[in-house]
């Protein structure tokens, strides 16, 4: 009997009439009659010899295990048996017309055997020790499903009960195939049945004494690989319900990608580390012959799937997949007396072996002061006690300090052939985990370099997996974005994002993903990226009530490396959240002036929070909309200049009003038009009262290091006293009350040869004022157009001829562009990350 698949099978078994392609269908591909019919259609197009290996119908094996347990416990198994019977017979109805009743008869016969076995277990306690009976019960699902598949495939197809040919024996590491015996039996079977296509039961086999057995849970994949070897197949396709092998568990990592190809070694590493690629044993029978295995989706046959072959072409990322083993514990033997003493490791692992404890990961520092290993949580106490016993003498004599056991851990493994000889891969992994604030408890990498494993707290598992995935598969400039306030500016920003995001991703690697949107009343949170162009429609009555904390938690808590909130509201309540968001590592961008000009203590808290969260707060659009006003001032100061004064026009609305107002149209009519054009604040009184300009002046003064507050600004308001406190709607109704005073003011200015402009001034001594001024025709501010802002910086360097920034200072499009500019300058700065290269 040979444990390893022989490379040279007997000649009679090696003489295929035509090329051979083994197909294996899992339970999900046999869920019902429609699936089974699809199975038949999928193999129909294959011109090669087609051995088809089937699992039981989805859920059947679990049901059979439960029936066996019930019978052993003397419980009533009949309702469960009847349900299985009904399911299979009803499925058979879809195919029965083709087989003239034979199918039902055959199924009833299998179900009869099942019932008899269950009865035996129920009635005879001593029969419960008979593994063969249980194996027959557990493997009954494949008997039934193979009959259904055969009926769907057609009368020219054979059916092979694998127990007739497959001989195995149980071993510590699972079922071992007796290749010579199996090959001889299959050859005899084929001689008797001809070289026709054949449906084969997966999972089941017999031992050398002819007793029924199984290949263990998920053994159908193993069956398929064994038959691919026995049939000398050129290819094996495993049909399942996913498009192929993914880079990580998609339930935990929404960005997991389907891999085109991987090597046998990579597939084995991932399988051992919990990724549901293939049963760990599966590859051995095909590996010895170099048979390529393709994992495909029977529900989406158009997808090419994942090819597993001896070698895989290098991929973009050196790491091919990430997997998690949950519920593990670290056992650590510590002792000064262990240093340099041969045999300590041997004693420890012998103790674990003796206790039947399997070791998942091993790590020992070169100091030899401690040895630690990771074991399954349910075996941890047993392992701990075994090590304590094995080292009882050393512990008693003080040479070993004892054995520490740390539970609630999991192991995250990064796997890939591309890691071999590559520098910087571990750095990238650890950097990703550090950015996600994940603490690493133990590290292991074998000399094969195909696998780096880290033990981490179980609570960190999802965050760690996402961070590691992002580190290898996502651009470092991938940002989870939440937008607040889809009004004039917010809507324009969403439209601009919608137009530019694809090009940004392709050209610059900047991957902005809109995952949350909120108005004052509603919010919509999404895991996958929303289309910014249409996202506004999601804030209908069905959307959730707006909760800014939940909003921020969602934006931050995603699977993406960075988070950013763009506040396009004019709300002080939203601005009050910035410090918390920044401290939590969320970048904030806004045209909202409340934070920059509001309470001084809050302003200071925001500055502290930026440092605490290593996050950025940009607000260029708060002054001059899309104009580079704040950045100009910052550059002047950062390069050592000192500010003397700021003068000019800081309101787009008031600029447009006074540029347009010549007395022919009432002032109130122009105010309504400015509002309709999106120039005004949500409440136009903020503009007319001078408050909006005062806010901008405070923002600039603070940028220059001054502790100015709104109360320090002398503000002239254009809003009559009687209209200052009334509701907005009433104010708008009574807007005409502005007309007479404004007409009088214009006429007085004209009488002096002047025109009207709204002017802001910040002086060297901190004096600040905003209000309407009558200016001569040759004044620079009289040569502005439409919504032009004109900001004049008088500084030490620009003392005689001030530096001027001029251009449109209001309007949704230009403001949104200013906001977008801030978003991009943050995203671009996120670029640098540890690279890798091959030695």
Ligand X SMILES: NC(=O)C1=CN([C@@H]2O[C@H](COP(=O)(O)OP(=O)(O)OC[C@H]3O[C@@H](n4cnc5c(N)ncnc54)[C@H](O)[C@@H]3O)[C@@H](O)[C@H]2O)C=CC1
681 binds ligand LTNE7NMQ (CB under 6 A): yes
Report the C-alpha gap between 781 and 769 in whole angstroms: 16
Dihedral sign, Cα of residue 513, residue 624, residue 695, residue 599: positive
291: tokens are: 């048979």
Among 178, 567, 687, 822, binds ligand LTNE7NMQ (CB under 6 A): 687
- Which residues, 463 to 502, sit near ligand X by CB under 6 A? 484-490
Q: Which does 497 bind (CB under 5 to 8 A by kind): ligand X, ligand LTNE7NMQ, none?
A: none
Min. distance of Cβ 621 from ligand X in angstroms? 5
Query: Considering the rule CB under 6 A, would residue 659 count as an interface residue with ligand LTNE7NMQ?
Result: no
The span from the CA of 211 to the CA of 182, in Å, is 14
Whether residue 237 contacts residue 24, with contact meaning beta carbons closer than 8 Å, is answered with: yes
Concatenating the DSSP letter of every residue in 441-468 gives EEEEE-TT-SEEEEEEEGGGHHHHHHHH
Q: Which of 394, 781, 810, 823 binds ligand X (CB under 6 A)?
A: 810
Helix, strand, or coil here: 520? Answer: coil
Residue count, binding to ligand X (CB under 6 A):
31
Residue 159 structure tokens: 């059916």
Cβ atoms 787, 808 nearer than 8 A: yes
Give the contacts of 791 (CB within 8 A, at least 6 positions apart).
Answer: 623, 624, 627, 629, 646, 648, 649, 650, 804, 805, 806
**Is 595 among the residues that bind ligand LTNE7NMQ (CB under 6 A)?**
no
Q: Which does 150 bind (CB under 5 to 8 A by kind): ligand X, ligand LTNE7NMQ, none?
A: none
Q: Residue from 536, 652, 807, 808 that binds ligand LTNE7NMQ (CB under 6 A)?
A: 652
State the binding partner of 687 from ligand LTNE7NMQ, ligand X, none, CB within 5 to 8 A by kind.
Answer: ligand LTNE7NMQ
**What are the residues facing 715 on neighbouring strands?**
770
> To the nearest whole angstrom, how small is the minimum distance from the Cβ of residue 787 to ligand X?
8
Strands 168-169 and 176-177 come out as: antiparallel
Residues 790-819 that bind ligand LTNE7NMQ (CB under 6 A): 809-810
Sign of CA dihedral 551, 556, 560, 566: positive
Separation of alpha carbons 479 and 329, rounded Å: 34
Q: Compose the 305-334 pattern: x for residues touching ligand LTNE7NMQ by CB under 6 A, - for all others.
A: ------------------------------
Interacting stretch for ligand X, rule CB under 6 A, among 337-345, 347-355, 607-615, 679-687? 679-687
Restricted to residues 599-638, the positions that interact with ligand X (CB under 6 A) are 621, 625
By a kind-dependent CB cut-off of 5 to 8 A, residue 22 interacts, out of ligand X, ligand LTNE7NMQ, none, with none
Whole-angstrom distance, CA of residue 244 vs CA of residue 720:
70
Beta strands in 365-492 (DSSP E): 370-376, 402-415, 422-423, 440-445, 451-457, 478-484
**Strands 422-423 and 837-838, bridge-based pairing:** antiparallel
State how far the Cα of 141 lies from the Cα of 722, in Å rounded to an integer: 85
Cα 747 from Cα 586, distance rounded (Å): 52
From 477, 653, 675, 792, residue interacting with ligand LTNE7NMQ (rule: CB under 6 A): 653
Smallest distance from the beta carbon of 523 to ligand X, in angstroms?
A: 8
Q: Which residues are catalytic?
A: 696
Q: Which of 51, 68, 613, 678 binds ligand X (CB under 6 A)?
A: 678
Q: Which two tokens stand for residue 801?
A: 């001829």
569, interface contact from ligand LTNE7NMQ, ligand X, none, CB < 5-8 Å by kind: ligand X
x/- binding map, residues 617-646, to ligand LTNE7NMQ, per CB under 6 A? --------x---------------------
Distance of closest approach, residue 592 Cβ to ligand X, in angstroms? 4
Please state the closest distance from residue 252 (CB atom) to ligand LTNE7NMQ, in A.
43
Q: Residue 141: which of 185, 195, 97, 83 has the closest Cα?
A: 83
Residues that bind ligand X (CB under 6 A): 484-490, 518-520, 546, 568-571, 573-574, 591-593, 621, 625, 652, 678-679, 681-682, 810-812, 815
Residues that bind ligand LTNE7NMQ (CB under 6 A): 625, 651-653, 679-681, 687, 692, 809-810
């Amino acid at each position: 009997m040979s444990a390893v698949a022989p490379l040279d099978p007997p000649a009679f078994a090696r003489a295929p009439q035509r090329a051979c392609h083994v197909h294996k269908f899992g339970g999900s591909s046999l869920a019902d009659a429609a699936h089974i019919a699809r199975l038949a259609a999928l193999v129909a197009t294959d011109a090669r010899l087609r051995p088809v290996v089937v699992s039981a119908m989805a859920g059947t094996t679990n049901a059979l295990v439960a029936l066996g347990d019930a019978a052993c416990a003397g419980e009533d198994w009949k309702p469960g048996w009847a349900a299985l019977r009904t399911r299979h017979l009803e499925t058979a109805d879809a195919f029965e017309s083709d087989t003239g009743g034979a199918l039902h008869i055959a199924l009833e016969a299998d179900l009869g055997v099942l019932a008899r076995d269950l009865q035996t277990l129920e009635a005879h306690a001593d029969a419960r020790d008979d593994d063969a009976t249980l194996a027959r019960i557990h493997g009954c699902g494949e008997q039934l499903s193979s009959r259904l598949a055969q009926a769907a495939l057609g009368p020219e197809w054979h059916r092979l009960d694998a127990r007739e040919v497959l001989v195995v024996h149980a071993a510590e590491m699972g079922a071992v195939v007796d290749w010579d015996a199996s090959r001889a039996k299959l050859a005899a079977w084929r001689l008797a049945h001809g070289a026709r296509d054949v449906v084969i039961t997966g999972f089941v086999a017999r031992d050398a004494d002819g007793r029924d057995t199984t290949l263990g849970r998920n053994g159908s994949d193993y069956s398929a690989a064994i038959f691919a070897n026995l049939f000398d197949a050129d290819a094996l396709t495993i049909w399942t319900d996913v498009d192929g092998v993914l880079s990580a568990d998609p339930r935990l990592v929404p960005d997991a990608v389907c891999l085109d190809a991987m090597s046998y070694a990579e597939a084995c590493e991932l399988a051992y580390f919990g990724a549901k690629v293939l049963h760990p044993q599966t590859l051995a029978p095909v590996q010895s012959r170099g048979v390529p295995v393709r994992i495909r989706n029977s529900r989406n046959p158009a997808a090419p799937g994942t090819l597993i072959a001896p070698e895989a072409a290098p991929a973009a990322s050196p790491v091919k997949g990430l997997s998690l083993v949950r519920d593990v514990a670290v056992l650590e033997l510590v002792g000064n007396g262990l240093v340099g003493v041969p045999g300590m490791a041997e004693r420890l692992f012998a103790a674990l072996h003796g206790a039947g404890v399997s070791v998942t990961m091993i790590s020992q520092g070169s100091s030899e002061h401690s040895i630690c290993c990771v074991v399954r949580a349910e075996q941890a106490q047993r392992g701990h006690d075994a090590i304590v016993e094995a080292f009882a003498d050393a512990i008693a004599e003080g040479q070993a300090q004892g054995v520490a056991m740390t539970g609630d851990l999991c192991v995250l493994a990064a796997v890939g052939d591309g890691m071999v000889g590559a520098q910087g891969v571990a750095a990238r992994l650890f950097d990703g985990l550090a950015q996600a604030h994940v603490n690493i408890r133990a590290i292991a990498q074998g000399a094969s370099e195909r696998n780096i494993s880290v033990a981490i707290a179980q609570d960190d598992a999802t965050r760690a997996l996402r961070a590691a995935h992002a580190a290898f598969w996502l651009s470092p400039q991938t940002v989870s974005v939440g937008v607040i306030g889809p009004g004039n500016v917010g809507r324009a920003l969403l439209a601009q994002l919608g137009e530019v995001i694809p090009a940004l991703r392709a050209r610059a690697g900047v991957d902005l993903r809109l995952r949350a949107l909120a108005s004052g009343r509603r919010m919509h949170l999404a895991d996958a990226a929303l289309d910014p162009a249409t996202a506004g429609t999601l804030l209908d009555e069905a959307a959730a009530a707006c909760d800014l904390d939940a909003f921020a938690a969602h934006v931050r808590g995603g699977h993406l490396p960075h988070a950013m909130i763009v506040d396009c509201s004019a709300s002080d309540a939203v601005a009050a959240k910035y410090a918390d968001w920044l401290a939590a590592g969320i970048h904030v961008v806004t045209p909202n002036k409340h934070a920059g000009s509001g309470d001084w203590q809050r302003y200071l808290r925001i500055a502290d929070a930026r440092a605490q969260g290593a996050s950025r707060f940009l607000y260029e659009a708060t002054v001059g909309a899309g104009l580079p006003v704040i950045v100009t001032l910052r550059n002047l100061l950062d390069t050592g200049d000192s500010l003397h004064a700021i003068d000019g026009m800081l309101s787009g609305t008031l600029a447009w009003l006074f540029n347009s107002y010549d007395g022919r149209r009432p002032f109130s009519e122009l105010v309504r038009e400015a509002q309709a054009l999106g120039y005004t604040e949500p409440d136009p009184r903020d503009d007319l009262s001078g408050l909006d300009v005062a806010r901008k002046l405070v923002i600039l003064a603070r940028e220059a290091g001054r502790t100015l507050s709104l109360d320090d600004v002398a503000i002239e308001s254009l809003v009559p006293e009687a209209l200052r406190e009334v509701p907005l709607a009433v104010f708008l109704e009574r807007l005409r009350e502005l007309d007479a005073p404004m007409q009088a003011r214009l006429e007085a200015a004209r009488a002096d040869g002047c025109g009207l402009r709204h002017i802001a001034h910040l002086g060297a001594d901190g004096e600040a004022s905003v209000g309407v001024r009558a200016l001569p025709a040759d004044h620079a501010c009289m040569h502005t157009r439409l919504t032009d802002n004109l900001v004049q910086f008088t500084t030490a360097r620009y003392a005689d001829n001030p530096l001027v920034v001029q251009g449109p200072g209001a309007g949704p499009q230009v403001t949104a562009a200013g906001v977008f500019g801030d978003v991009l300058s943050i995203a671009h700065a996120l670029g640098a990350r540890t690279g890798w290269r091959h030695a």
